[in-house]
Amino acid sequence: MRAIGLVRGENSVQTFDLPKPEITQPDEVLVRIKEVGLDGTDYNVVRYGPDMAPDKNRMVMGHEAVGIVEDIGGDVKSLVPGDIVSITVRRGCGICHPCLHNQSDMCMTGLFKERGIHKLDGFLSEYAVDQEQYMVKVPREMKHLAVLTEPVSIAEKGIDQIRIIQSRFPWTCPHPEHDFKSPDWGNCKTGLVVGAGPLGLLAASLLRLAQVNIMVADIVPDSHPKAGLVNYLGAKYVDTSDKSPRELMEYCEVHGGSVDILFEASGAASTALQLISYMARSSIYIMTGIPRDELNLNIDAGQVIRHMVKNNEVVVGSVNSNRSHFEKALLQMTRINLEFPELCQKILTDRVKFNDFQEAFTPKGPKFIKTVIEVDPWD
Ligand SMILES: [Zn+2]
Ligand SMILES: [Zn+2]
């Protein structure tokens, strides 16, 4: 079968032939891959070099996959051939308790592997085999959007973390029914999402579904499609190209209110770090963007720590997602599709055929948001 990936010692994405994977264990599932989404992690794999297993000389790329079950092992219970599945990314270390209890996203040892990112082949190939536990069944009517399950699951996990951690409070507004544990938790709250890329837009849509008053900041002008999608969500777009982190937070305070939830989805390290100094009292700041380059800043460390301690602030990192987040993501995508029917298709700006894969890794036009490689296009 054909695959798209990287060869050790070479820095360009290429196609190569691999044997078609086979089911060798009774709990395994063979999937014919339909679509694979690309994100910043994939571009970084190309830019900084793949994190291959030591005994391998090439790595198949791609970690956001949707496919059709082609065959199943004898012990597989939840899937049958023809089912549509989204596949999770991380494979636990097999040692720590989170990994042993279906929370490899919270691995304690760091000895996990990730398909298409860290030591394991990804999904940019005609077929993939993996265990049933990593396959999440997709409702048939969601198949055209299911390639977004992984990024939605990342946003879902981030919001999950926010709700768990902020449950340290009783309700923060006059309404007990708006506490972070309740289904109506998002009311009377304001959020700022930094970064209007796919993850930022999806996080903003989930927060809007929860009734959070949302602002989304990015450096593109108001005329950019990203800004248009922010407005479409009923959120307010903030162009930060001419604003310092302090000015951004002051602007938000005036135009949206005190920011209870800061969701960082840009990976722009300098702004991300400086924003800590301007967090609102008792607020939470979740970071999901991963900067790669070294960056040295001159900051007043005393001021930052004073600010955090005296205001009971939380800064938390959130990476990866587990099966439960994929399942929640698929439920939420049904809601997103009802409430914001144009969002998902408009995020998927660039659809590239398998044979034209080089286009997916070349610099993007001004209207670009996200690329999908059609390994085997839907009918
Ligand atoms: Zn682990
Ligand atoms: Zn309230």
The Cα–Cα gap between 374 and 36 comes to 7
CA of 172 from ligand 2 middle (Å) equals 7
pLDDT tens by residue, 329-346: 999 999 999 999 999 999
> Nearest bound ligand to CA 101?
1
CA of 153 from ligand 1 middle (Å) equals 19
CA of 178 from ligand 2 middle (Å) equals 5
Looking at beta carbons, which pairs linking 302-311 to residues 24 or more positions away fall under 8 Å?
Answer: 303/277, 304/276, 304/277, 307/276, 307/277, 307/279, 308/276, 308/279, 311/279, 311/280, 311/281, 311/282, 311/283
Secondary structure of residue 354 in the 3-state scheme: helix
> Nearest bound ligand to CA 110?
1
Is 152-317 assigned to CATH 3.40.50.720? yes
CA of 67 from ligand 2 middle (Å) equals 42
CA of 89 from ligand 1 middle (Å) equals 14
CA of 184 from ligand 2 middle (Å) equals 9
Look at the domain 2-137+349-374 and name its fold: Quinone Oxidoreductase; Chain A, domain 1 (3.90.180)
CA of 235 from ligand 2 middle (Å) equals 19
Domains 2-137+349-374 and 152-317 share a fold: no
pLDDT < 70 positions in the chain: none
Give the DSSP H or E segment for 315: strand 314-317
CA of 183 from ligand 2 middle (Å) equals 12
**Which residues lie closer than 8 Å to 167 by C-beta, 6 or more apart?**
179, 180, 181
CA of 288 from ligand 1 middle (Å) equals 20
Parallel, antiparallel or unpaired: strands 84-87 and 135-137:
antiparallel
> Nearest bound ligand to CA 111?
1
* Amino acid of residue 91: R
- What pLDDT is recorded for position 27? 98
Domain residue extents for the chain: 2-137+349-374, 152-317
- What pLDDT is recorded for position 201? 98
